[in-house]
């Protein structure tokens, strides 16, 4: 099955009175495909009910190194954007900006009293380093990795997942807003 828009059309058809057999026929779904869709929805609402927050974070630099910014957005368990953060970081690398964005979001989540957190980032390096799949080889990233790992210990439960850049647009926009906060040259 395709994207969330496709799923919305399926649920709209159910809401309008089609039975499961009619929905399967209209959308060319097998019983197993329909069960997967229902399981995804059950998981989604289960996470919301469990009080799980979502953090999307992104760092950006114009040049590498260059003027950099961090962006983070926290969604509460109901899926509402609770906090949007944008910060200018000065001149630094993209990887440093990615870590700074994560730390910015984690610290805000702690300030809000979040206990369960799903973190989403489009930096494969950051996600794999924090999940232990990659070692941190760059000495300048090691203190940021340690700080991020330390901040993560403030949560009862957390996950860190890689997402495509297209699914991280809001955090990316905030990171670029952070760069735009750069003070004018003197």
Q: For 103-108, which contacts have Cβ atoms below 8 Å and span 24 or more sequence positions?
A: 103/144, 103/147, 103/148, 103/151, 104/57, 104/70, 104/72, 105/55, 105/56, 105/57, 105/72, 105/73, 105/74, 106/55, 106/148, 106/151, 106/152, 106/154, 107/151, 108/72, 108/74, 108/83
pLDDT digits (tens, 9 = 90+) for 92-143: 999 999 999 999 999 999 999 999 999 999 999 999 999 999 999 999 999 9
Quote the pLDDT of residue 99: 98
Mean pLDDT on 64-90: 96
* pTM for this predicted structure: 0.75
pLDDT of residue 65 exceeding 70? yes
Quote the pLDDT of residue 122: 98
pLDDT digits (tens, 9 = 90+) for 7-41: 888 888 888 888 988 989 998 989 888 888 888 88
């Amino acid at each position: 099955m395709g994207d969330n828009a496709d799923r919305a059309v399926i649920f709209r058809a159910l809401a309008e009175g089609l039975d499961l057999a009619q929905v399967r026929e209209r959308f060319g779904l097998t019983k197993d495909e329909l069960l997967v869709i229902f399981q995804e929805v059950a998981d989604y609402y289960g996470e919301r009910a469990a009080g799980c927050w979502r953090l999307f974070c992104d760092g950006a630099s114009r040049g590498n190194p260059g003027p950099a910014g961090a962006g983070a957005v926290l969604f509460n368990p109901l899926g509402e954007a609770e906090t949007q953060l944008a910060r200018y970081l000065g001149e630094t690398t993209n990887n440093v900006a990615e870590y700074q964005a994560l730390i910015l979001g984690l610290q805000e989540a702690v300030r809000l009293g979040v206990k369960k957190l799903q973190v989403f980032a489009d930096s494969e390096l950051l996600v794999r380093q924090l999940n232990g799949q990659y070692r941190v080889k760059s000495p300048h990233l090691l203190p940021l990795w340690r700080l991020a790992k330390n901040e993560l210990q403030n949560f009862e439960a957390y996950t860190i997942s890689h997402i495509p850049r297209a699914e991280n647009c809001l955090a990316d926009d905030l990171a670029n807003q952070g760069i735009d906060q750069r003070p004018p040259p003197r």
